[in-house]
Structure 1
Amino acid sequence: MISRRGFLSTAGGLVLSSVATGAYAIGIEPNRQPRVTRYRLVPNNWPAGLKLKLVVLADIHACTPWMSPRRIGEICEQANALGGDMILLLGDFLSGMRIKTGHVAPEDWARELARLAAPLGIHAVLGNHDWLDDPAAMAARKGPTIVHQALSSINVPVYDNRASRFEKDGGAFWLAGLADQIGPRPGFDDLPATLAQIRDEAPVILMAHEPDVFPTVPKRVSLTLSGHTHGGQIRLFGYSPVVPSRFRNRYAYGHIIEHDRNLIVSGGLGMSVLPIRFGSPPEIVVVELG
């Protein structure tokens, strides 16, 4: 039988451990310099000789004290130093926090994002919180949203069911992006209309804020890039107890291959709902194709 002293010692240890864990999850991990997670892959339909480096930033969720303009600027400088051919922004620029935080004006976070530079440009899609946290756009059920306007002010195109063709080193590829899948339900995404804009056999990279569209993405798409899940924000031994996806952990994080199709889900940079990260630190994703 455990003694009273033993019980109190054990109970005290559990309390201290819980406090320490909570302090780390709120005060340390969310504020770490983003780790750089690298993926190298050659999709089945990728042309020989075409090498492409993508730097991916997802889920900024601007708010103070966790994602201030200064921190966003530092992340942008870190992203620039990675030498990507393109920088892709996968949505959720607005806070999404359910507790009171300091507001960051769109012009302030946009000014920091204007630091981003890459030879083939900066490209974006919107996320669910870019609609849900914009009452006027939600009421009207149409854009332009606050985020559309902020990104337009720094000449970053938003891919709302749109595809554009690019060339590099004599090879061609398409960059496509879906409008958000949630927003004012139902969402504004239209995958068939987006892919209908592709006029040749060059490979396709698809930006889709939420990964839930992946089961319907055809093999014609070489790579789908998503954010939204934050890796669950809490991730233990490769498992996240809460994932904002109807597929739960299936598309929570990382490189997923299904039926010769590739999906990469970023753990993102900021936080939504609650300011907690544990086992899922902020990250910048680098994808090298070819």
Structure 2
Amino acid sequence: MNRRTFFKWLGGLALSGAAMTGYAFGIEPGFMLRVQQYKLTPPGWPADFKLRIAVLTDIHAGEPYMGLGRIERIVETTNALKPDLALLLGDFSTGHRMITRQVPIKDTAAACAGLAAPLGRHAILGNHDWWDDRAAQKRQSGPSLYGDTLKAAGIPVYENDGVRLEHNGRPFWLLGLGDQLAFVRGRGRFTGVDDLDGTLAKVTDDAPIILMIHEPDAFIKVPKRVSLTLAGHTHGGQVRLFGYSPVVPSGYGNRFAYGHVVEDDRHLIVSGGLGCSILPVRFGVPPEIVLIELGG
């Protein structure tokens, strides 16, 4: 390789790197949106019981990446999918400092209240919703500003609680686990508000169960009695190449990083989420609405 060819190659490499960086920091997190679909009939779910579920998680509201207008467009896109049930799996707060303007939780909640589904919209909180609530952190206890605001907007929020719903005359349980990392105790130390046993104790019959959790690590203790567990939090690692995420906010690495996980006939779906935390970067895992079709 002569000198001229070398510098052409080096310049091309630099331009490619700049283009990839621009895409990862600008295009994918700020403009892209996909609908990720799953069709399954997990154990305990009747094969003839069809249910269409839309899942939104990790919105991390804040301009310029996730302004109010974009949240409203995501809600409109979700409504166009005509789900029977709309679920919000937490982390409504920003999650990083690289923003030009905050979007108040009151505005985010009002936008999410526009989700239209016959069985309603239901939510849990994520770690950032607790961490950004200074009063709750000071008390090291609830109530949560984010939870109260969502409820005021007409969105039920579940903390180790649930509800029995019916669709076409068929019952099922929707449960929501409290967050596992709610209170910061020190560097790398957290206390949760999660109570899996207490949550499952809300179930009073043999109808199938759908469980909402924010951090997927809780799945390790979820029993087979639960037909389907839904989680967010990881954002798919935000950077994902060939099915591998170099950095995953989970004690189990890539095991629960993203997608449909099946272990011991137990089913977990981890959404890549919509926003970003720590840094506004995504590569190979664009923001997504998850659409799940159960039964049939």
Identical positions, percent: 57
CA distance in 1, matches of 2:134, 2:100: 18
- The letter for the 2-side match of 1:31 is G
Per-residue Cα deviation, 1:33-63 (whole angstroms, up to 9, x for no partner):
4211111111121124321110000100000
- With structure 2 as the length reference, what TM-score do the two structures score? 0.95
Q: Which runs of 5+ in 1 are unaligned?
A: none
Task: Indicate the SS of the match to 1:214.
Answer: helix
Report the counterpart of residue 187 of structure 2 in structure 1: none
Aligned pair partner of 2:243 in 220, 238, 241: 238
Q: Which runs of 5+ in 2 are unaligned?
A: 184-189
- The letter for the 2-side match of 1:190 is D
Q: CA deviation at 1:12?
A: 1.3
Aligned pair partner of 1:192 in 180, 191, 197: 197
Q: Which moved more, 1:243-252 or 1:163-172?
A: 163-172
- The letter for the 2-side match of 1:227 is G
Per-residue Cα deviation, 1:118-163 (whole angstroms, up to 9, x for no partner):
1001000000100112211111112222211220121111110002
Q: CA deviation at 1:99?
A: 3.1
Report the counterpart of residue 59 of structure 2 in structure 1: 60
Cα RMSD after superposing both structures: 1.1
Q: CA deviation at 1:90?
A: 0.4
Report the counterpart of residue 121 of structure 1 in structure 2: 120
Query: Is 1:265 matched with 2:270?
Result: yes
- The letter for the 2-side match of 1:218 is P
- Contact 2:231–2:270 under 8 Å retained in 1: yes
CA distance in 2, matches of 1:46, 1:109: 33
Report the counterpart of residue 30 of structure 1 in structure 2: 29
Task: Indicate the SS of the match to 2:8.
Answer: helix
Aligned pair partner of 1:203 in 198, 205, 208: 208
- With structure 1 as the length reference, what TM-score do the two structures score? 0.97
Q: CA deviation at 1:100?
A: 4.6
- How many residues are matched? 289
- Contact 2:113–2:121 under 8 Å retained in 1: no
* Change in 2 beyond 3 A, CA 1:48/1:238: closer
